[in-house]
């Protein structure tokens, strides 16, 4: 039965939220119990012709789309230490008039350590991201009479390091939880292009609406540190900023299997949308948990 | 034996002198480049669009043999990290596609993949009503810059 569950998890095409520029999953202050595990496979789809350039101006372009199958896994290595791996196993980027640039994405490892446990668990996360994707991956224009290619890599081509703090609280009698996080991304460079560092922060609210069903919502901010770069392609997200929201649900299929679904959108406000294709990201997923 | 030695030495001398003979140096003529002097008749500075680092000049002119060329000056740059940029002549600063009528307002020139000086050999003269050079990212369908031809 365990093997069957695992195989189902691996082979089902499932959907789970994974914004194309948002490599870090939602963060909480809880760490896993020692030797417990959580695995998730997800599929997300995104298509947009609304591009916000580095100045924040909205352009209408040919439609850009992305398909992604993403693996996410947590394991309780120690009582206070959880290791996490997150990687797009498959990603396909294309414009409507090009073929697809296909490949794996960048692997992110996370070490999550519980600074505080109890009513207000607080965790620190150190998360290096490795450029496991091809730094350059060209799609060919199918309509051009010349050889016309565009670089749509499935990763950003650089090593970077996220550090994050996350705190959570469960309201006990009321089946409600809240989490908040803030993080800083130390970025390096790709070839001659130096990347600006980035910050992100967010809130998550979850409510166990029925015995098997939990609803949650996120509100996140994402911003570039320092002077706004004047040039840079969207796929490497240098100079990218946005606010995002999401609405999602978790449904317990069995004691160990959960079906998840979520939709994420972007909006202006504190962080104006810049260097970003903006449209809803639709995701469904299947998760397996061993306590 | 003597004959054989004489023959060998003769062949060696022949090779040695032939290799040093300047008269036999091949001159490769690149017909895609101007012959002699390129003379600009019209030119304009690129204006960047959509946050690209587009800069430099476009020049329309002829070489010493009267062949028409479009030249991008050595200072030419645009956003090429993303791939290929297509070059058009246009009757306005905005590219107006009209495939149903044979795209009368634009003329495709070629593609550019590197910054710096570049020549495009033209089969015919460019009519005066084509007033602009447009840099077009065909995949995204947005302009990267344009230069008027004055």
Helix (H) or strand (E) holding A3: helix A2-11
Which among B52, B83, B110 is the nearest to A150, CB-wise? B83
Contacts of A231 in chain B (CB under 8 A): 51-53, 79
Q: What angle do CA B123, B124, B126 make, to 5 degrees?
A: 125
Residue B143, pLDDT > 50, answer yes
Shortest Cα–Cα distance, B45 to chain A (Å) = 19
> For the segment B48-64, what is each residue's pLDDT rounded down to a tens digit?
998 888 999 999 999 99
> For the segment A110-144, what is each residue's pLDDT rounded down to a tens digit?
999 999 999 999 999 999 999 999 999 999 999 88
Q: Do B139 and A95 touch (CB under 8 A)?
A: yes
3-state SS assignment for residue A199: strand
Which residues on neighbouring strands pair with residue B136, listed in sequence order?
A: B86, B143
Residues B94 and B91: their CA atoms lie apart, in Å, by 8
Q: Do A148 and B140 touch (CB under 8 A)?
A: no
Which residues on neighbouring strands pair with residue A289, listed in sequence order?
A: A38
Q: Tell the residue number behind the tokens 């569950």, with chain if given.
A: A5
Which among B51, B81, B142 is the nearest to A61, CB-wise? B142
Residues B36 and A120: their CA atoms lie apart, in Å, by 79
Show the domain range for A73: 2-290
For position A220, what pLDDT does the model report? Answer: 97
The rounded percent of chain B whose pLDDT value lies above 70 is 79
Which among A54, A62, A233 is the nearest to B141, CB-wise? A62
For position A144, what pLDDT does the model report? Answer: 83
Which among B53, B86, B138 is the nearest to A231, CB-wise? B53
Nearest to A222 by CA among A24, A81, A77, A18: A24
CB pairs below 8 Å between A and B: how many?
67
Q: What angle do CA A209, A211, A215 make, to 5 degrees?
A: 35
B51 near A CB under 8 A: yes
DSSP states along B60-122 = EEE-TT--EEEEE-TT-B---TTB-EEEEEESSSS----GGGT-TTEEEEEEE-SSS-EEEEE
Contacts of B86 in chain A (CB under 8 A): 144, 146, 148
Contact A44, A23 (CB under 8 A): no
Residues B54 and B45: their CA atoms lie apart, in Å, by 10
Residues A101 and A141: their CA atoms lie apart, in Å, by 11
The rounded percent of chain B whose pLDDT value lies above 90 is 64
Contacts of B51 in chain A (CB under 8 A): 53-55, 230-231
Indicate if ipTM > 0.95: no
Edge-to-edge strand ranges of the sheet holding B57-62: B39-45, B57-62, B68-72, B118-122
Q: Do B51 and A53 touch (CB under 8 A)?
A: yes
For position B23, what pLDDT does the model report? Answer: 44
For position A231, what pLDDT does the model report? Answer: 78
- φ/ψ of B3, rounded to 5, equals -60, -40
Which whole-number Å values give the CA distances from A266 to A73, A170, A236, in the listed order? 26, 27, 18
Residue A239 region by backbone torsions, left for phi larger than 0, else alpha for psi between -120 and 50, else beta: left
For position A232, what pLDDT does the model report? Answer: 78
Residue B135, pLDDT > 80, answer yes
Q: What tokens does A229 get?
A: 């770069």
* Residues whose CB falls within 8 Å of the CB of residue A130, separated by 6 or more in sequence, listed in order: A106, A107, A108, A109, A159
Nearest to A103 by CA among A137, A151, A53: A137
The total number of structural domains that make up chain A: 1
Q: What is the mean pLDDT of chain B?
A: 84
CATH number at residue A232: 2.40.128.130
B86 near A CB under 8 A: yes
Q: Do A146 and B139 touch (CB under 8 A)?
A: no
Q: Do A95 and B142 touch (CB under 8 A)?
A: no
For position B9, what pLDDT does the model report? Answer: 57
Residues of A with CB under 8 A from a CB of B: 51, 53-55, 59, 61-62, 64, 95, 97-98, 138-139, 141, 143-151, 193, 230-231, 233, 235
Q: What tokens does B30 get?
A: 């690149």
> For the segment B18-28, what is each residue's pLDDT rounded down to a tens digit?
444 444 445 55
Residues B125 and A190: their CA atoms lie apart, in Å, by 42
Stretches where chain A sits below pLDDT 70 are: 1-26
């Amino acid at each position: 039965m365990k093997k069957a569950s695992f195989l189902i998890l691996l082979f089902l095409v499932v959907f789970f939220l994974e914004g194309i520029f948002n490599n870090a999953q939602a963060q909480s202050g809880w760490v896993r119990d020692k030797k417990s595990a959580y695995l998730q496979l997800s599929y997300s789809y995104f298509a947009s012709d609304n591009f916000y350039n580095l100045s924040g101006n909205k352009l209408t372009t040919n439609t850009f789309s992305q398909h992604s199958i993403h693996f996410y896994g947590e394991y309780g290595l120690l009582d206070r230490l959880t290791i996490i791996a997150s990687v797009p196993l498959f990603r396909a980027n294309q414009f409507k008039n090009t073929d697809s640039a296909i490949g794996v994405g960048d692997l992110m490892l996370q070490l999550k350590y519980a600074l505080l446990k109890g009513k207000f668990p607080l965790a620190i996360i150190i998360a290096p991201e490795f450029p496991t994707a091809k730094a350059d991956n060209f799609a060919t224009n199918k309509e051009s009479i010349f050889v016309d290619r565009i670089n749509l890599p499935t990763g950003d081509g650089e090593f970077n390091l996220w550090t994050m703090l996350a705190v959570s609280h469960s309201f006990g009698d009321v089946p409600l939880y809240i989490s908040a996080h803030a993080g800083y991304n130390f970025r390096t460079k790709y070839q001659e292009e130096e990347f600006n560092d980035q910050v992100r922060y967010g809130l998550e609210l979850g409510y166990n609406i029925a015995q098997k069903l939990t609803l949650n919502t996120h509100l996140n901010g994402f911003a570039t540190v320092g002077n706004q770069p004047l040039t840079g392609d969207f796929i490497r997200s240098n100079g990218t900023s946005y606010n995002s929201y999401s609405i999602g649900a978790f449904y317990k299929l069995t004691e160990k299997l959960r079906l998840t679904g979520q939709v994420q959108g972007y909006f202006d406000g504190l962080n104006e949308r810049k260097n970003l294709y903006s449209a809803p990201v639709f995701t469904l997923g299947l998760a397996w948990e061993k306590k | 034996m003597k004959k054989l030695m004489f023959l060998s030495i003769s062949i060696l001398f022949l090779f040695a002198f032939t290799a040093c003979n300047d008269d036999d140096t091949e001159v490769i003529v690149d017909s895609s480049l101007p012959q002699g002097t390129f003379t600009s008749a019209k030119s304009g500075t690129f204006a960047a669009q959509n946050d690209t680092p587009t800069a430099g000049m476009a020049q329309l002119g002829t070489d010493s043999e009267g062949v028409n060329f479009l030249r991008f000056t050595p200072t030419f740059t645009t956003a090429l990290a993303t791939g290929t940029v297509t070059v058009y002549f246009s009757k306005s600063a905005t590219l107006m596609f009209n495939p149903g009528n044979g795209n009368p307002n634009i003329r495709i020139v070629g593609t550019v993949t590197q910054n710096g000086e570049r020549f495009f050999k033209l089969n015919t003269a460019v009519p005066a009503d084509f007033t602009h050079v447009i840099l077009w990212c065909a995949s995204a369908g947005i302009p990267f810059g344009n230069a008027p031809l004055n």
